[in-house]
Structure 1
Amino acid sequence: MKYPTTTQGVEIKYRLDEGIFKLARLKSRRNTNTINVTELQYADDNAAVAHTHAELQQSVDNFHAAYTCFGLTVNKAKTKILAQPRPGENPPATNITMDGTTIECVEHFPYLGSILSTQSTSSKEIENRLQAGHTAYGRLSTRVFKNKGLTTHLKKLEQFHQKKLRAIMKIKWNDYVSNTAVLERANVTSIEAMIMKHHLRWSGHVVRMEDTRLPKKILFSELNAGDRLRGRPMLRFKDQLKKSLKEANIDPNTFEASAYDRNEWRNKIKVGTDLFEENRRANLVAKRQQRAERTKQPYS
């Protein structure tokens, strides 16, 4: 049997030394490694990645040939195509086929619990999670939140928005209770602090992975080809990670060394996110006081 040739995929260059935020180090040819990412596998799911239409068609043909060789079949109805263009550009037209069947091209697609979209942003993911929160609250409303015979442990409701916390605690808009006071009554942190905590914990988890793991290589990498647009570009994962580290009062230069010790890293995250939340609430109180003082001043 003649096996089809492999596709080029998405080429990245990476180095696992000298720090994750020192991107200039990737210009060195001697110490920089280059790999082609052609597929991302997880359990029985598989994502094929490519830069061009021709490469993606070849990758799909390769998958179909490999599955057929082992007596397996691909569920064509669940297979989707998602094209992610550069910011400001329209998605390219795609016509990918598998064994004579045209694969549907979609604007967003659920994968591994997240929503991938053509815009390459998290807006669709945030919208989906908010909708899931509304749905979950609606299902529990009668049996839990409106049941006077049950007590509510609000720490289990951290994923809900400020609006849901107010509904659970029966705080109305005309009660004039600030968002900070709602969080204090509920004994939970802000959504921003929650995201920061999970962001830092996941990054530390990837740093502790073996050097052969693909997620670690990607975290320490950048694309080998292509330029970012002029003006203010979209923030990368590493840009937001560096911002989170600074806001949590963690030195980005020693981030990796700290993350290798799991217990030390978790302690730093807790202390850092608690400090961030404390400063965030203090700033909100200060701004509210400033607005109140301005309203008291007479007009000249």
Structure 2
Amino acid sequence: MTERTRSRVKAAEMCFLRKVAGLSLRDRVRSSVIREELGVEPLLLCVERRQLRWFGHLVRMPPGRLPREVFQARPAGRRPRGRPRTRWRGYIFTMVWDCLRIPQSELAYVAREREVWGPLLELLPPRPDPG
């Protein structure tokens, strides 16, 4: 998910939450206060938790399953000029490092352990905003 998409999702979510709380932007109430008042966790946190849960499924899949094969595939050939596009794999590794401080080399081992991975995702803190 790009930063632009993240920003737009947060803005739309806060628009909905403000309407539910009966507030407008003119009331100048912080988003964190509205969220706390309604008892709602950030939507992006839910999305990231689901993505990491799917990653755990991918890691534990038996060899030969199509989703796992696609995830592990490495296309051959030349890449286009310029900065490489962010792939889902890189996005997941970055997210796990930002939130849980698990290095890429150990991530697959941790995700294979269902008893460790599931509770770890429930403790997932919100990602820090860049900048």
Normalising by structure 2, what TM-score?
Answer: 0.79
In structure 1, which of residues 207, 218, 226 is the aligned counterpart of residue 70 of structure 2? 218
For CA contacts below 8 A with separation 6 or more, give which structure has more relative contact order.
Answer: 2
**Matched residues in 2 for 1:227 and 1:187: separation?**
49
Q: For residues 189-208 of structure 1, what are the structure 2 equivalents within 5 Å?
A: 189-208=41-60
**Matched residues in 2 for 1:230 and 1:189: separation?**
40
**Matched residues in 2 for 1:232 and 1:185: separation?**
42
- The structure whose residues are more often strand, as a share, is 1
- How far has the Cα of 1:181 moved from its partner? 1.8
**Bigger Rg, structure 1 or 2:** 1
Q: For residues 1-300 of structure 1, what are the structure 2 equivalents within 5 Å?
A: 161-224=13-76, 226-249=77-100, 250-271=102-123, 273-274=124-125, 277=126, 280=128
Give the letter aligned to residue 239 of structure 1.
Answer: G
Identity of aligned residues (%): 23
Which structure 2 residue ranges, 5 or more long, are not aligned?
none
**Matched residues in 1 for 2:33 and 2:50: separation?**
24
**Matched residues in 2 for 1:233 and 1:169: separation?**
42
Contact 1:248 1:269 in 2 (8 A): no
- How far has the Cα of 1:179 moved from its partner? 1.6
**Matched residues in 2 for 1:184 and 1:231: separation?**
43
What is the total number of aligned residue pairs between the two structures? Answer: 123
Give the letter aligned to residue 187 of structure 1.
Answer: G
- Change in CA separation of 1:183 and 1:228 when aligned onto 2, cut-off 3 Å: farther
Which structure 1 residue ranges, 5 or more long, are not aligned?
1-120, 131-159, 288-300
Q: Which runs of 4+ in 1 moved over 6 A?
A: none
Normalising by structure 1, what TM-score?
Answer: 0.37
**Matched residues in 1 for 2:24 and 2:18: separation?**
7
- Change in CA separation of 1:236 and 1:165 when aligned onto 2, cut-off 3 Å: same
